[in-house]
Amino acid sequence: MNSTSLFQLIDSQNFETLKSQLEKEPDLIKQTDGWNLLHYSCSTSNTENLIEFLISKGMEINSKTGLTPLHICCWNDLDISVFNILLKAGVDVNSESKITPLHLAAQTEMNHEKIKLLIDNGANIYARNNSTPLSFALQSKQDLETIKLLSSKEIIKSKNLTTSLHLVLSSNPSLEVVKFLIDNGADINSQDKATPLYYSIIHKNPFEIQELLLKFGADPNISSFSILLLITQNPSKFLNPDKEIELLIKYGAKIKDDNNNNYENSLLFNAINHSFSPKTVDLLLNLKPNIDIKNHSMLSFAIKQKYPLSIIEKIYNMGSNDVNRLDASKSPLFHSVFHDSVEVCEFLLKNKADPNQSKNLPLHAVCSDKKCLVDFADILIKYGADIEKKDLRKTPIQICCWSSKIFELVQLLISKGAQTNVVTLFSSTIENPKTVAKIVGFLFEKLIPINGLNKQTALHLAIATKKPLDSIESLLDYGAFIEIKDDQTPLSLANSEQKEFIDSYLSICEDMNNLLEDNPLADFTIYLNEGNLRYHKIILNSRIGEENIPKFLEIISTKEKQEVELFMKFIYSGLILNPHQYDICKEIWDSIGLNDLDKQIGKKSLISNLRKLENDENSKDFTILCENKEIRVHKFILFARSELFRGMFLNVSDDSNKVNDYSGRSFDSMNQLIHFFIKMIFLI
């Protein structure tokens, strides 16, 4: 039988047949070199009886084919009982084939008992083939007791390609193992291109190990490269970059090779660019790094990364005091605005930053920002920002109209003297109807003409550029003229939807104005020295509240008749036609003790207030009787826009509260008819 067949018997654990065959062919036992049955048994099984049998039959225990059977046992981490059998039989524990069995045992983790057994039986801890067994153990995370077995001060101190400290620190060791090596003479500053300290940091050793090395004298400055720079360039590769830099500086790390021609090699730039903590940046600044990077502004870098004012001031005071130095055509001042740092913005302006420098103007950046940075705008204007300077052919007030949160900025810019009119603003892209209403009202209050300074009006532009209908309504509320011509009237520019909207708007306004002259329905008298005025109490109640009527009468008793008429025109129509009327209305409105006159301007507010009354059962003053059932309505609301109902319920001007009996009609049909017309009254 050949060797292959015998190996197959071992694989199948057919040991009886194997023994029988060896009895028949004893020459197989005498094999002294090559891969014999004992090697194979140690590599494929852990059967003590078979190994003992082979040894008892005289198979050479130190037969070599690169490795002895003991090498194989160590490699395969067989049970310690097999080790004992081989050692008892006289296996050579120091047999070498590049490495000894002890080398192999040392590279298997948690192998203390076997390593001790080998050493107790004469294994040489000094055996070396480039590396000692200790070198293998240090890389396989053996426990401290195992490391001690394999160590001597001579071995620990030895320098080959890599020292014991380098090896252990590349394998995430325990603190106690590192301390043991240092206590026994390991060179803490030995360099294998890099020091043990570098190995510890780059291999993300626990922070306690890094600090231990520094406490025992590791020099953070002797590497051929800067550890500080490496950490700031690639912080993601390190365990705790901020903490490690703080530790290194604490133990004397200094700046080296701080290249001012390449920002990638700048320690401070890298720390700022990778958003190291303000504390870390402050520590680095204490080392006095180079802050003059060619073609770049360190101030801009720090501001872009939103560092606090204390850091910005420190960089400035260290020599980066050119507050107008551009970086990619943007100034530090621009970045302070763009990155929301009002303290930094004011600091730069106090130190002579030019708010009108460069194409990217800070005030324009404020006006284009959706966060509506009014504080920034106020500070910039205070320090000389030109509110009429153009960037991309637009002034700040035109730029700010692109934002949906611009009202406060428009107020500020106009109050600071910005030149504009409603036409100019509507040539920008104001889309938010609420913003339009606020701006138009504010400009109106400031006596800025709604109908423009020439024939082209805001209403022309609002219609031509298809602004939302609510925006068109805001202009109409403040008296925009539909008939003013710029070759074409605004109405002639309108599409069908816009025309329908404007017609409906004007129809309601016309009806409400007609009611001013509707004396038969008037039921409220205002007594003035210049003559009495008659109005409809329900309208006044809906606008200022019945509880405020006495105060209203007290206020207007001191007013001229023309002023009262202007105020009542607003009460009926919801419109403000000119700034003079606005001033009168606001004075009376505020004197009554009411708030937010601007929110009451427009037909929407008028209709909304009337709708509330329509659902108020207590204020209904007209009864219609059908089939012995009552329908209660407001006489005014029912008759205001319906000639049909005036015809049906004629002669109700004086004694209108009487019951009108229409028993001959169906209650349901009458009720539906009345409510249909009420809905039509409020249809906008």
Q: Residue 475: which H helix or E strand, with range?
A: helix 469-477
pLDDT more than 70, % of the chain = 71
562 shares its domain with 531: yes
592 shares its domain with 526: yes
262 belongs to a structural domain: no
**Domain closes at, from 548, 571, 603:** 603
499 shares its domain with 522: no
Q: What CATH number did the domain enclosing 478 receive?
A: 1.25.40.20
Q: How many CB atoms lie within 10 A of CB 581?
A: 18
304 belongs to a structural domain: no
565 shares its domain with 598: yes
Domain count, the chain: 3
Residue 554, pLDDT score: 92
Which residues have CB under 8 Å from 335's CB, separation 6+? 300, 303, 304
196 belongs to a structural domain: no
Residues 312 and 302: their CA atoms lie apart, in Å, by 7
**At 518, which amino acid appears?**
D
597 shares its domain with 651: no
653 belongs to a structural domain: yes
541 belongs to a structural domain: yes
**Domain closes at, from 514, 542, 574:** 514
Residue 648, pLDDT score: 60
635 shares its domain with 653: yes
CA distances from 234 to 92, 275, 386, 609 (A): 50, 12, 43, 66
The parent domain of residue 666 ranges over: 620-681
pLDDT digits (tens, 9 = 90+) for 503-531: 666 666 666 666 666 666 777 888 888 88
Q: What CATH number did the domain enclosing 598 receive?
A: 3.30.710
527 shares its domain with 589: yes
Residues 563 and 561: their CA atoms lie apart, in Å, by 5
> How high is the mean pLDDT in each 10-residue block of the chain (684 residues)?
67 73 72 71 74 83 76 86 91 83 88 92 88 90 91 82 85 91 92 87 94 95 85 93 96 78 82 95 92 84 94 91 85 89 92 86 79 82 86 71 60 71 53 58 55 55 59 60 57 68 67 66 84 84 87 91 89 78 88 84 71 72 79 71 57 51 71 70 49
The answer to whether residues 119 and 134 touch, using CB atoms and an 8 Å cutoff, is no
Which contacts (CB < 8 Å, 24+ apart) does range 485-494 have? 485/455, 486/454, 486/455, 486/456, 486/457, 486/460, 488/460, 490/457, 490/459, 490/460, 490/462, 490/463, 491/463, 493/460, 493/463, 493/464, 494/463
510 shares its domain with 524: no
User: What would the two tokens of residue 447 be?
Assistant: 């006596």
**Domain closes at, from 542, 568, 603:** 603
671 belongs to a structural domain: yes
pLDDT digits (tens, 9 = 90+) for 304-346: 999 999 999 999 999 877 898 888 888 999 999 888 888 999 9
Look up the pTM and report it.
0.62
**At 91, which amino acid appears?**
V
Residue recorded with tokens 């870098």:
301
Residues 553 and 557: their CA atoms lie apart, in Å, by 6
629 shares its domain with 674: yes
DSSP label of 64: B
522 shares its domain with 488: no
597 shares its domain with 523: yes
349 belongs to a structural domain: no
570 shares its domain with 593: yes
Residues 576 and 442: their CA atoms lie apart, in Å, by 13
Residues 167 and 155: their CA atoms lie apart, in Å, by 13
625 belongs to a structural domain: yes
